[in-house]
Every structure is written in C-alpha cells, then in structure tokens.
Structure 1
C-alpha cells in the first residue's frame, strides 16, 4: 500500500488553522497506518521521567495507528553522542534521535529540514530563545525541534540562610516567588563581594573551573556579561579586546575565593558541594536540589534558584537545550514530524515539566509559568524563577556567537576556563591571551 506524502505547503496550511487540536495532529490519519517509527530518546536522570515521553508516544501511536519502538539512550560516557555519530555514518538507525546542543549543526547534512514543523509550533507556543535559533537553525533551515526533556538553565542555586547571614543578601526578597525580580542591584560586582564574604565565612561558592559543561557554561555567561567574545559571529578571532581583558580580570578575583580544588571539578562536584552543606551557592539546574531533598533535606529547605548577576553588557544565563532531529535517511519522516508536533503541544510540554519535577525547560516564550515551578518545594516557590518567567535574562551558550562549528570546539576544549586559570595562576595577561588566540586560530583551520 503506498504512503501519501504531504507537501510543505499542505502541511503549513493544515497546521495554521488556529486550533491547538489541529496543530497537534497535522497529518491525515491513515497516511502511514500500520507503519513503523523508531525513536532514540535521552535517558532521563529523574526517576520515572521517561514515563512521560513513553505515555505521550503511546497516546499518539494508538491514534495514528503507527507501531513505535523507543530506545532510551544514556548520556553517560557520551553514549548518545556516539549513537548519533554511528547512525550518521551508517545512514541508518532511528527515525527520530534526541541530540545534545551542538549536534544538529554537526550533522546538518544528514538531518531532514523541519521548517514545516517549527513555524506552526512557534505560532502556537511563542518564539524560541536566541540560543535555540543559534543551535537549531542553519541558513534559514530548521535542523531540529527543541526538546523539553533535558533542556536546562544553569543558574544560581543559593543557600537562603548562608547568603543572608554572610553576604547580607536575601535571595527570596530579590527573587520573590510569584512576582517579578527586584534584582537591579544583583550585579557581578555584588556577586563578587558575596563570594568573598562567603569564602571568608568558610562557605565558598561552588563554581567549577574544569573542562566539563558546568564549568564552561558558567564561564560563558560571565564572559558574555562583559561582551567578551573569542571569535565573533563573522568568524573573526577577537581574543585581544578590552572586553576579554575585563572578563579575565574579574575571573582572577573570583577564582581567588573559590574552592582550591575547583580546577579539577567535574559536573558532579558542584552538586556534591551544595548537598554537603559546605557551599553558599552553585550554578546548576535543579538536580542538586532534587538530590538534596532525598539525601540532605535540611539543605534542600534552604535552597533558592534564581537569576544570574548582570554585567556591563547585560544579564546572561547559561542555557543548554536538547533537540529532536529527524534523519534525512529515516524511513517514516512524515510520521516522525507528526509525533514531534504532538510532543511539542502545550499539554505535552506541561507533562514533561511535571514529570521531571521542574527540571525540564521548554524553549518557547509562552511556556515559562507552569504550576510545577510555583508549587514544587521545599521551600515552596524555590523553582519559580528557574525558567526565567519574566524574561529578565538572555539565555546563552558559551562561545557563542562564533559560528557553531567553531564555537563547539572552543566549548569542548574548555578554552574559556583554561585561559582564566592560566591568568589566575600567574601567567601574564597578554601571554594568556596569546595562547587563547592561537587555540582559536587552530580551531578555524580544523
């Protein structure tokens, strides 16, 4: 039996008919009846969070009469990245594969364009943030759909009591649950003074300086707060600028009051630091708080997630999105697109957020005020400002706005943290800049 294929124009017309019900099921049922679809989802760290995606897929499959198989692929030991590489090379694998932030650009030639999915979704859900556009688009073509599961902001998670006692900052008053921030004075200067005070009191901020993503993401937001770019959007190396020098001078002062072993930290270290009770703040999604609820409830009760401090060029927050990509060599691309629309409906997105306890973040502007973030606790309201409901920050990713394939190398080589450490540990400023410039020139050649 032949399978009917809708053109892009037909798809847009079908999905632009104003109702959420229509946008959630844009294809004519039966077009791929009895067909098959295979999916590779990221294996969620939150217990039972995978059940949300499993239930949503089952709901769609039963309605559309499609036989679906799901694999949950761990990100441990880069398994999901290795899966993407193997499938791209073999031109065979899942129809839909969930990918970390940088991989849509890395495999752009192997991905089905998804403008016919994204354009109606944006009309329905609101605009996506600039980082999603930066990572998910190329030459006006949408390479993948932003996935709610796994996407996260790595902002400050502060100890209410320690920040109040040692830094004189009431984070709940600054970021009150249920209302807009009162954070005009929450600047990098205030942040540094607070870090110094908490270090002096024996409760240093737990910010890593290593080569894994938590360390790099924080460094990226700080650099962007100064307008510091190692490579600009045109692909020019811009290391030796006043903005980069200012960022490094700030980092040197900050590094002096961080834990002595911070250069060796990995992505678990800051979580452990907070849960141990030794730190007044970390930069992380709510995973550390969630574990503290189980293992150290007295710590969890004092945690408050809030916005990033602002710098001379604005307030930036590290955003790390996941994407759902459809392989161009997939066997059932029409069904894959239909499922992604279903998984991106407001009702589905709210289920993802609830199942993850507020960890998962949608990329859409109208999806930042679900009740999960207002109600989850303790303390109640601790995650209200995690999704940035008042859009007070620019959600960014380290090494942007360099062309993504160059930025990816800066990111994974941890050029920002390495440069900051070289300067903080005694290397002359211009020597550290020259080293970073050479690194970036090498990335340009490769």
Structure 2
C-alpha cells in the first residue's frame, strides 16, 4: 500500500464511476467501478488511503466484472463538483446510482474537486464537447450569449419540483433573460468563525453582523504573534478563498467589480479598493495576519483556525464540519457571525444542449431534488451550515434548531461576485481563476509595488476581459 497522503480543504477525491443499471432482476448485481486512483477524505488535513482500483457492490451478488450494457441503452455523462464534505459527495453519488438502477440507464459519473472541474469544464465548453450534466458550471460563459449558448433551460424541472418552495435569489443567480439555466442545490455562505472562549476571557462583546473594521479592532486586542496566535486568520495566498474574502471586505467599503457590463463600467480603480487594500496591508505588516498567510492554499485559513493559531477566520462552515468530527471542544468554543455583506455561491446542476437524452437528464435532477426529506437529513443538516438550503420549507424547519437559526435562510442574503446585481457575468467567470485580485495584493506585499500602481494594473486586467466579452 502506498504512503497516506495529506490533503487540503479543496483537494479531494477524483474518480470516475461507471454505473450500469440493468433494471430489477433477481440475483443480478449492479456495480460502480473506479478505474483511476481513488482518494478517500474524512476531514481537512486528515490522512487518506489510496488504492488504484475499487469495485463496490451497489446491489445484488458480487460478480467479477460489471454486466455488459445492452446495445442502445441510454447513457448519461455527469461531472459533479466535489465538496469538502464526504457526506455530501456520497449522498449525491448514491442518489445518482439509485436513479440509474430504477430507470435502466447507464451513467458515467465523475466527481472532481473545484479547481479541476473548472478547468475541465471550461475546456470542454470551448471545444463544444461538455458532459450531459454538471454540478457547477461557468454559467455565464456557457449561457450568457444566445449564439453560443450551450445550456438548456431548467424551468420545467423547477416547476415540477415546485417553484413556490425555492427561494427566488437561488433561481435568480442562475437565470439569464428570464430563464433559469441552473437548478440550485445549495448555498455556501462565508462567515466569521470566532474563538468565543477568547472573547469571554478578554471581556469582548461581539454584535451581528460583525464588520471588518470591528473585527480588526478585536484582532488588535487579542493578537499575540510572539506565541503564534493571530487576530485575523485571513489568507493572502494564490487561491479562491483570498478572492472570496476580499469580496466581503471590499463590498463593505463600497466596492464592486462593475456598474455596467462594459469595459467602461469596470470599477476596480476606486476609493473603496484603496481602502480595502490599505486595510489588508496594514494588518499584514502589523502581524495581525500570520506572516505565512501569503503562502497558504485554500486550506490555509482552515488549518490556522483548527490548529489554534487564529482568533477568527472568514470561511464557509466547512470548518465546523471538521471540528465536529475532530475537535468537539473547539467546535463548542466557536461563534459564527455574518459580516455586513455576505459572499457565497449558490451552486447547482446544469444540462447541456449536446445531451442526447435531455428528458432523462432532467428526470435525474428532479429525482435528486424532489426527495426533500433525504435532502435535508443527508445533505443539509450534516453539513453544519456549509450547505444552506434553497427550499423555504426546509429553512423554516431548520430555524427551529438554535445552531441553524442564523443561517438557515442564508440564500436570501448571500451574494455572488457580480454583487449587487447578482446575475451571471461572462467576464467574471473568466477573471475568477486568473486570481487578478490576489496578484494585485501580492504585487504590493511581496514585490513592494506602489498601491495605486498595483490597483491600476488590476483595473486594466479587468477592463481587457470586459472589453473582450461586452465591448467598450
């Protein structure tokens, strides 16, 4: 057996599952085979076991190989974004297998970490060869321009499930010209994780929402770099969390990426941007932020908090999921508080025009989302706030649970990068993985570049991307 690997928060299992469903035959077996290397993750930073091939019985009696697919059997290809939560990944895999067996459909399912699915989907969309279904997509790149639109509307699926139970913002973020191109599955808000025990020891009161300015004041009171304890566990590394945390900070100062979808509408060069940059530069130079934060990957802030180095971090509640399993004591000492403007994605399924069996694809998605009881018990509740519901009925039930009360309806006040309009934007889809904001910050912090010069550079980068997609 190979040596165990250590993984970060978004470095997860990457495997392809070939599902062959043969209908209900007594004594028959249905398998999913894993032909590539498999990594099973239990929690951030945990050791993992690796094996080259795994064959697991889904139902029936084991046989040496999966049954042969009859000629002409319908087949769907699906790519799902993996999350940090293994409960989540297993649930979606099992629901997909369950549907495939009942419908007699072959499903080739790949579950991929965010960075990999982004690159793979973008390349597939550019080549005009996407899967039939994906969980997550660069939505605007795939659907904003009618002449190059690769997605099918899913309003019929939403109506079948019951549109009245969906939160309107959950549908809006995936809609273009009045049509929904994304079937929402969950909302993933960023919020403060704060050491409640340290607050009590220092006699500090925290109100909700907690502004970034107030957070910095608290950080100054508890900061102790000599003992490797830092007031702000904010990442500055080349990863998506740096951009996402920036959004929350920047929006509080009045920042936004654009006012109109055009090169002239880009608003990176602004007073708000300078104030947000100065906030981070000051905090970093005064060691309110750990010096190594500039080297962190997306798991860095998680490790900082879980390892006891940070007073507070801004992150989805994947940290709570990990603490509940690994460190219940720190779980109970953690206070969750929202900032004034909340960043977070509403993630969901899309169906591509190239799908040969669109009705089957939509039937699969309806099957997964219609089972609201399982959705609540197996996907939402175990996530401890990492996955917030897109259904009003489930949110109302969760509000009765004290832990869930603050964010059961987070989808109502969580915003995408295109805040304040919260609509798909091709330019932001392209800009995201380029980490322009992170590079701007690192030009200042690592290269010693003038703040205004770095902001000008970032502004011009966004202008070029917006011009490419929308013109001047």
Q: TM-score range by the shorter chain?
A: 0.7 to 0.9
1:344 to 343, 361, 369: 369
- Does 2:404 align with 1:396? no
| 1:274–1:282 Cα contact (<8 Å) kept | yes
Matches of 1:68 and 1:167 in 2, distance apart? Answer: 60
TM-score with structure 2 length normalisation? 0.70
Measured at CA, do residues 421 and 79 of structure 1 come closer, stay the same or move farther in structure 2, by a change above 3 Å? closer
- For residues 424 and 92 of structure 2, what CA distance do their matches in structure 1 show? 32
Residues 1:90 and 1:396: Cα distance change in structure 2 (over 3 Å): closer
CA distance in 2, matches of 1:90, 1:427: 39
Moved more, 45-54 or 424-433: 424-433
| 1:329 alignment partner in structure 2 | 354
Q: Does residue 1:188 correspond to 2:212, yes or no?
A: yes
Whether the 8 Å contact between 1:195 and 1:205 is mirrored in structure 2 is: yes
Matches within 5 A, 1:38-437: 38-57=77-96, 60-61=99-100, 65-75=103-113, 78-85=115-122, 87-88=124-125, 91=128, 94-100=131-137, 103-108=138-143, 109-119=149-159, 123-129=163-169, 133-134=172-173, 136-148=174-186, 151-166=187-202, 168-170=204-206, 174=207, 183=208, 186-200=210-224, 202-235=229-262, 236-255=265-284, 256=286, 257-308=288-339, 315-345=340-370, 346-350=372-376, 351-371=378-398, 381-388=402-409, 391=412, 393-397=413-417, 404-422=425-443, 427-437=449-459
TM-score (norm 1): 0.74
Match of 1:304, SS?
Answer: strand
Q: Per-residue CA shift, 1:361-419, capped at 9, x if unaligned?
A: 23345543444x866xxxxx55543445595x443337775972222344323333443
- Cα 1:156–1:404, aligned 2, differ >3 Å: closer, same or farther? same
Q: Which has the higher contact order (CA 8 A, sep 6+)?
A: 1
CA contact (8 A) 1:358 1:383 kept: yes
Q: For residues 389 and 341 of structure 1, what CA distance do their matches in structure 2 show?
A: 23
- 1:3-35: CA deviation from partner (whole Å, max 9, x where unpaired): xxxxxxxxxxxxxxxxxxxxxxxxxxxxxx975
Distance 1:194 1:340 in 2: 45
CA 1:439–1:153: 2 relative to 1, 3 Å: same
| Inter-partner Cα distance in structure 2 for 1:443 and 1:271 | 32
Give the unaligned 5+ runs of structure 2: 1-71, 144-148
User: RMSD of the alignment, in Å?
Assistant: 3.3
Cα distance in 1 for partners of 2:404, 2:429 equals 30
Q: Distance in 1 between matches of 2:75 and 2:430?
A: 37
